């Protein structure tokens, strides 16, 4: 689909709507979604009854706060298809989370849902700067993970050509990027850094590629990592936000011109920020946990789904009616409490990336050997610093220890290890190894 007929450089006319018009549409769609969920999902019907609410109690958008939350545990408790609101003969695709602990969360899609997903992803890619006729190298995983197929269908809907590379085969990634000369790469930020390392291992400069945009998502990353990627590849790095339970990638996307945080496509996904401890809805601009209610999904409507992502809702800029997400500070369930101090992996990442002697490859190890928590940080030297020797590596480690103590407030043991020591991932990086005994 080309650019002709689009409004003001956007993909959909709703992107240029006023806030009042958008709010009316949200209320209409929210009422329909609540009725759909209550009538067709026994879990929602029981939770609404327990909370003493019915879909008819929604008169304003603020009334949504009266309805109960949905959590990942709710989806797991109804594994595999208990949260579906349509009969199985209407389901045309099923995805599932990685399920690293316990049962995976299963999500289903009707044909309508896939069309909506392709449209919002195309809208996001258009906002990011992708155009009809571009070549998109898709290094996000295909399969049960929603990333690869979500971006693929959106790029195709926009009119771009897609190289469905998926993750892994890093040497071949480099070969195809050099040979096919794609304009855009869709990838996790940690894996794009691994691709950059492979370019350099082959004696190639990643800045010499034809890539002008990197669509980054599927894992938290700091602005420092974003700048590192932009510097190593000489491109613009754009943040894509999404999660499988809500639809997949494409829930929100950063505008390529402004690069000031992802705009939420609020005509399909209604956002709230809550206090993660009390569940109280917070005003725009306040920091808390992001919650989403789907407005147009058929197969798997989600009502007030707790994402565990910690952020703020900010006023829209390039899409004025659509609010933006501030940089995700971390996840409430990823937060480490070490000797009474709240620690997010992103805080350590910022300090690592500010050190020119260190590479972006790091891992945190938390243990409790003698009744007290201990934090160890393993990090690799930068390419320019790799030959500096053990004494220089030790000085870099002590300097990072000092910064972690000063800025984060915890004591850490830092080890600078040989290049290539820390495990690489073709998908989401494994940043934290927590070996502390679990309480019963």
If pLDDT is split at 50, 70 and 90, which confidence band does 7 have? very low
Q: For residues 412 and 432, what is the distance between their CA atoms, to the nearest angstrom?
A: 14
Residue 404 DSSP one-character state: I
Question: Scanning the structure block, which residue is given the tokens 């950059």?
Answer: 196
pLDDT tens across 146-172, in order?
999 999 999 999 999 999 999 999 999
pLDDT tens across 61-86, in order?
999 999 999 999 999 999 999 999 99
Q: For residues 306 and 315, what is the distance between their CA atoms, to the nearest angstrom?
A: 21
pLDDT for 5 beyond 80: no
3-state class of 220 per DSSP? Answer: coil
Helices (H), 320-389: 345-354
If pLDDT is split at 50, 70 and 90, which confidence band does 6 have? very low
Q: What angle do CA 78, 82, 84 make, to 5 degrees?
A: 130
The listed range with the strongest mean pLDDT (332-336, 341-345, 424-428) is: 341-345
**Tokens found for residue 240:** 């894509």
**Tokens found for residue 11:** 């993909």
If pLDDT is split at 50, 70 and 90, which confidence band does 4 have? very low
Contact (Cβ atoms closer than 8 angstroms) between residue 353 and residue 372: no
Rg (CA), the chain: 22
If pLDDT is split at 50, 70 and 90, which confidence band does 10 have? low
pLDDT for 129 beyond 50: yes
Lowest mean pLDDT among 228-237, 253-262, 380-389: 380-389
If pLDDT is split at 50, 70 and 90, which confidence band does 410 have? confident
Average pLDDT over residues 23-36: 98
Residues in the chain: 440
If pLDDT is split at 50, 70 and 90, which confidence band does 98 have? low
Q: What is the largest CA-CA distance in the chain?
A: 69
Q: What angle do CA 279, 282, 284 make, to 5 degrees?
A: 145
Q: For residues 370 and 123, what is the distance between their CA atoms, to the nearest angstrom?
A: 53
């Amino acid at each position: 689909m080309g650019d002709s007929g689009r409004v003001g450089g956007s993909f959909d006319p709703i992107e240029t709507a006023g806030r009042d018009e958008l709010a009316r549409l949200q209320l209409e769609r929210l009422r329909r979604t609540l009725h759909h969920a209550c009538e067709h999902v026994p879990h929602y019907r029981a939770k609404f009854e327990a909370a003493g609410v019915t879909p008819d109690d929604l008169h304003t958008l603020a009334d949504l706060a009266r309805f109960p939350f949905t959590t990942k545990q709710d989806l797991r408790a109804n594994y595999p298809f208990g949260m579906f609101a349509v009969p199985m003969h209407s389901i045309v695709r099923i995805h599932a989370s990685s399920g690293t602990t316990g049962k995976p969360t299963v999500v289903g899609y009707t044909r309508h849902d896939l069309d909506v997903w392709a449209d919002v992803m195309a809208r996001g890619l258009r906002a990011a700067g992708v155009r009809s006729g571009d070549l998109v190298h898709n290094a996000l995983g295909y399969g049960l993970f929603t990333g690869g197929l979500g971006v693929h269908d959106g790029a195709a809907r926009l009119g771009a050509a897609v190289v469905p590379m998926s993750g892994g085969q890093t040497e071949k990634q480099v070969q195809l990027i050099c040979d096919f000369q794609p304009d855009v790469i869709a990838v996790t930020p940690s894996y794009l850094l691994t691709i950059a390392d492979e370019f350099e291992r082959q004696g190639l400069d990643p800045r010499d590629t034809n890539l002008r945009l990197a669509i980054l998502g599927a894992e938290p990353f700091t602005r420092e990592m974003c700048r590192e990627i932009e510097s190593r590849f000489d491109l613009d790095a754009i943040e894509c936000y999404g999660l499988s339970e809500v639809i997949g990638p494409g829930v929100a996307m950063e505008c390529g011109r402004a690069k000031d945080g992802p705009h939420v496509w609020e005509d399909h996904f209604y956002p709230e920020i809550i206090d993660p401890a009390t569940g109280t809805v917070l005003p725009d601009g306040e920091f808390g946990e992001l919650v989403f209610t789907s407005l147009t999904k058929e197969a798997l409507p989600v009502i007030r789904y707790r994402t565990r992502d910690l952020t703020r809702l900010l006023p829209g800029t390039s899409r004025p009616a659509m609010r933006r997400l501030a940089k995700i500070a971390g996840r409430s369930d990823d937060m480490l409490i070490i000797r009474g101090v709240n620690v997010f992996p992103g805080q350590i990442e910022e300090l690592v990336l500010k050190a020119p002697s260190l590479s972006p490859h790091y891992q945190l190890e938390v243990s409790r050997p003698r009744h007290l928590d201990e934090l160890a940080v393993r990090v690799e030297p930068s390419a320019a610093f790799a030959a500096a020797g053990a004494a220089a590596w030790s000085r870099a480690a002590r300097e990072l220890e000092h910064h972690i103590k000063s800025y984060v407030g915890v004591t850490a043991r830092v080890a600078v290890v040989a290049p290539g020591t820390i495990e690489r991932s073709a998908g989401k990086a494994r940043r934290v190894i927590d070996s502390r005994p679990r309480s019963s």
